[in-house]
Amino acid sequence: MNQKELLIQRKKVWRSYHVPGMGNYTTRPVNAIFLSPKNTWEHEMWKAKVCHEILKKGMKFVTEAVCNKTGDRADIVVLDTGDRIEVETTKRRAKRFESKESPFPITVIATWAIPDPEKWELII
């Protein structure tokens, strides 16, 4: 994918999401990490770690954005690929994504199953 196609892809995915509680015309800033007080500290730290890995790969993202089509909120959306990333700290919470259909792929990061978080690396 050349640079122009990549920019078009990023804009297309970016416009598919909006700020929670706002209309579809309000988009999230790119490469900014938004925290939610409803999430645990561990969840938010993992979200920051995943975003850092995305930046190291030269990709762009938005966090805590709502999909215009489904109304689902995503922890992280990778604009380059359209992938949704959900960080989950318990098996019980991760089960909600097992049979979920979405216009974009959903990757669940099961933090409880990662033996050494320092050596963890995102594969997209």
Is the residue at 124 inside a domain? no
- Average pLDDT for the chain: 84
Residue 88, judged by CB atoms within 10 A of its CB (0-12, 13-18, 19+), counts as buried
Is the residue at 100 inside a domain? yes
Whether 104 and 81 have beta carbons less than 8 Å apart is answered as no
Domain span including residue 67: 3-119
Reported as a single tens digit per residue, the pLDDT across 102-118 is 666 788 898 888 888 78
Q: What CA–CA distance (Å, rounded) separates 35 from 19? A: 13
Whether 44 and 35 have beta carbons less than 8 Å apart is answered as yes
Is the residue at 59 inside a domain? yes
Is the residue at 33 inside a domain? yes
> How many separate domains does the chain show?
1
Q: What CA–CA distance (Å, rounded) separates 21 from 30? A: 18
Regarding predicted confidence, which is higher, 26 or 33?
Answer: 33
Whether 113 and 46 have beta carbons less than 8 Å apart is answered as no
Q: What CA–CA distance (Å, rounded) separates 90 from 109? A: 10
Reported as a single tens digit per residue, the pLDDT across 60-119 is 999 988 887 787 888 999 999 989 999 998 888 777 777 666 666 788 898 888 888 788
Answer whether residue 22 shows pLDDT above 70.
Answer: no
3-state SS, residue 75: strand
Reported as a single tens digit per residue, the pLDDT across 39-58 is 899 999 999 999 999 999 99
Q: What CA–CA distance (Å, rounded) separates 75 from 81? A: 15
Query: How far is residue 54 CA from its own chain's centroid?
Result: 10
